[in-house]
Amino acid sequence: MEEKLLTKLFEIKDSFTIDVYLKHDGYKAVEKAFQEMNPESILAEVKNANLRGRGGAGFPAGVKWGFVPKGVDKPKYLCVNADEGEPGTIKDRYIMTHNPHLLLEGILIASYCVGINTAYIYIRGEYENVALGLEKAIAEANAKGYLGKNILNSGFDCQIYVHRGAGAYICGEETALLESLEGKRGNPRLKPPFPALVGLFQSPTVINNIETLSNVPKIILNGAETFVQTGLPKDGGTRIFGVSGMVKKPGIYEMPVGTNLKEIIFELAGGMKDGKTLKAVIPGGMSAPILTADEIDINMDFDSLAEAKSMLGSAAIIVIDEDTSILDVLKIVTKFYSHESCGQCTPCRIGTKWINKTVQRIADGQGKIEDIDNIKRLAKNILGKTLCPLGDAAALPILSIVNKFRQEIESYIGN
Ligand SMILES: Cc1cc2nc3c(=O)[nH]c(=O)nc-3n(C[C@H](O)[C@H](O)[C@H](O)COP(=O)(O)O)c2cc1C
Ligand code: SF4
């Protein structure tokens, strides 16, 4: 059974409007936050809920908010990451389209908690209609007094702006996002300093994913304890799993954190399309190392997947069947990363290009058996040697594909 915390209103007509949202406890959490709580108690609640970031890295939101210094003589900012560029990932678009006010309420509570008066939603350029829908929702919230000056007579001011990106995957990396938002080329910054201290316009900044912030109203309204009861004690709540590829019913499924991957594929998503056999699964967006068919009896939470040397990432599940050539998968993965590398570091810029060229050569029937070890050598020379995590995000899935499907790749190489 699906556990609908974030997607509950999605099937209700006009769920994106403020009127429907208000009829279903909308903005009640922010009222509670203003009337019964203060920034310290909100932070404690979010920390107790152990809300882990849904953008990929799984960093606890409350801990991140707590890093922002108090009493600084500068404005602070919230940047909401709606870049959603990770292949396979579709969950944030659904939230923004079907329940934008849940997100706006989460932004408002986070901003009040950290002392932020300006929030930016950085949305990928391709999501044109979603961006327009968000702007409408912001206008509705302003008209009803949930945004702007002295919100609900609390003395707190907050405004949210939508900023559209221009289609670069790297702009989803948090510091590249900041550069892009400042009007510059989206090149990742060296860390430290971390954005909580030196972020947007050199000011303290919180960066959170859409799904992360959309969980906040539920935590405030129902309490951390209830949140933790769904999911796992160290990793509470639900995840919106986006299932794509060769299944009968691709789509999004909201389930408690820790739901079994096999159950998601074979029960919720209806099993394999056209009665085909499962070959492999990418469990957390394209950056996640691949799992073979006999590795999918696994719980979908950060720790279980890390133990299996993969990752939960954005919880985007890509299902691959027996008819799909693993070389085609490798071609897509390597082409993507070589195209999306920003070019600042040599191992990533050159390594991804060489790997992609080598894979293409194998696909063209010109491969040599030593190419396989060359791909591995190049990937290992990217791993851990780059400025931002895109390098590892490229190297790890490539290594996992080559290691687990070496025999099939060899079969494409003539002697
Ligand atoms: C190459 C790259 C792309 C990323 N793309 C996204 C993205 O589209 N959306 C997102 O929320 N996080 C993305 N991230 C993760 C962000 O850097 C950051 O960790 C996240 O937005 C923090 O939010 P959270 O703590 O709420 O998960 C990306 C990271 C990397 C390295
Ligand atoms: S790892 Fe790649 S994407 Fe990241 S900064 Fe270096 S070159 Fe750019």
**Percent residues over pLDDT 90 in the chain:** 96
Instruction: Determine the average pLDDT of the residues in 220-242.
Output: 94
pLDDT band, very low/low/confident/very high, at 233 (cuts 50, 70, 90): confident
Share of the chain above pLDDT 70, in %: 100
Sheet with 251-256: list strands edge to edge. 251-256, 238-245, 316-321, 278-282, 291-292
Directed axis angle between helix 370-382 and helix 346-363, to 10°? 160
Ligand 2 pocket test target in 170, 336, 337, 352 with most atoms within 8 Å of CB: 170
Average pLDDT over residues 112-133: 98
**What pLDDT, on the 0 to 100 scale, is given for residue 140?**
98
| Nearest ligand (C-alpha, residue 83) | 1
Ligand 1 near 314 CB (within 6 A): no
Give the ligand 1 atom nearest the CA of 61. Answer: 25
DSSP string, 271-305: SBGGGPPEEEEE-SSTTSPPEEGGG---B-SHHHH
Q: State the DSSP code for 268.
A: I
Amino acid at 293: A
Arithmetic mean of pLDDT over the chain: 97
Task: Examine the pLDDT at 352 and tell me if it is beyond 80.
Answer: yes
Tell the residue number behind the tokens 């678009």, with chain if given.
93
Tell me, what's the pLDDT at 101?
Answer: 98
Q: In what order do the strands lie in the sheet with 205-209?
A: 159-164, 118-123, 77-82, 205-209
Q: Is the CB of 342 under 6 A from ligand 2?
A: yes
Does residue 40 carry a pLDDT above 60?
yes
pLDDT bin (cut points 50, 70, 90) of residue 414 is confident
Domains of the chain, each with CATH number or no CATH: 18-229 (3.40.50.11540), 238-321 (3.10.20.600), 326-411 (1.20.1440.230)
Per-residue pLDDT averaged across 113-118, rounded? 98
Answer yes or no: is pLDDT of 383 > 90: yes
Ligand nearest to the CA of 338: 2
Q: In this structure, are residues 64 and 183 in contact, taking their beta carbons and an 8 Å threshold?
A: no
Measured distance between the N- and C-terminal CA atoms of the chain, rounded to whole angstroms: 51
Confidence of residue 344 (pLDDT cuts 50, 70, 90): very high
pLDDT at 1 over 70: no
Ligand 1 centroid vs 93 CA: distance in angstroms? 15
Q: pLDDT of 265-274, one tens digit each?
A: 999 999 999 9
Does residue 145 have a pLDDT over 60?
yes
Band the pLDDT of 3: cuts 50, 70, 90: confident
Spacing, Cα 343 to ligand 2 middle (Å) = 6
Collapsed DSSP state (helix, strand, coil) of residue 162:
strand
Tokens of 377: 């050598």
pLDDT score, position 415? 57
How many whole angstroms separate alpha carbon 236 and alpha carbon 303?
12
What is the reported pLDDT for 395?
98
Strand partners, 206: 78
Ligand closest in space to the Cα of 349: 2
Looking at ligand 1, which residue's alpha carbon is closest to its atom 23?
A: 208
pLDDT band for position 125 (cuts 50, 70, 90)? very high
Q: Is the CB of 161 under 6 A from ligand 1?
A: no
Q: What is the pLDDT of residues 297-331, one digit of tens each?
A: 999 999 999 999 999 999 999 999 999 999 999 99
Quick check: 52 pLDDT over 90? yes
Ligand nearest to the CA of 348: 2
* Secondary structure (3-state) at 177: helix
Which residues, 6+ apart, have CB-to-CB distance to 365 below 8 Å?
412, 414
Which helix or strand (DSSP H or E) is residue 359 part of?
helix 346-363
169 CA distance to ligand 2 middle (Å): 11
Q: At residue 264, does pLDDT exceed 60?
A: yes
Ligand 2 neighbour 343 (Cβ under 6 A): yes
Q: What is the pLDDT of residues 54-66, one digit of tens each?
A: 999 999 999 999 9
**Residue nearest (by alpha carbon) to ligand 2 atom 4:** 388
Q: Which residues pair with 280 in a beta bridge?
A: 292, 320
pLDDT of residue 234: 85
Task: State the pLDDT at residue 146.
Answer: 98
Residue 71: per-residue pLDDT: 86
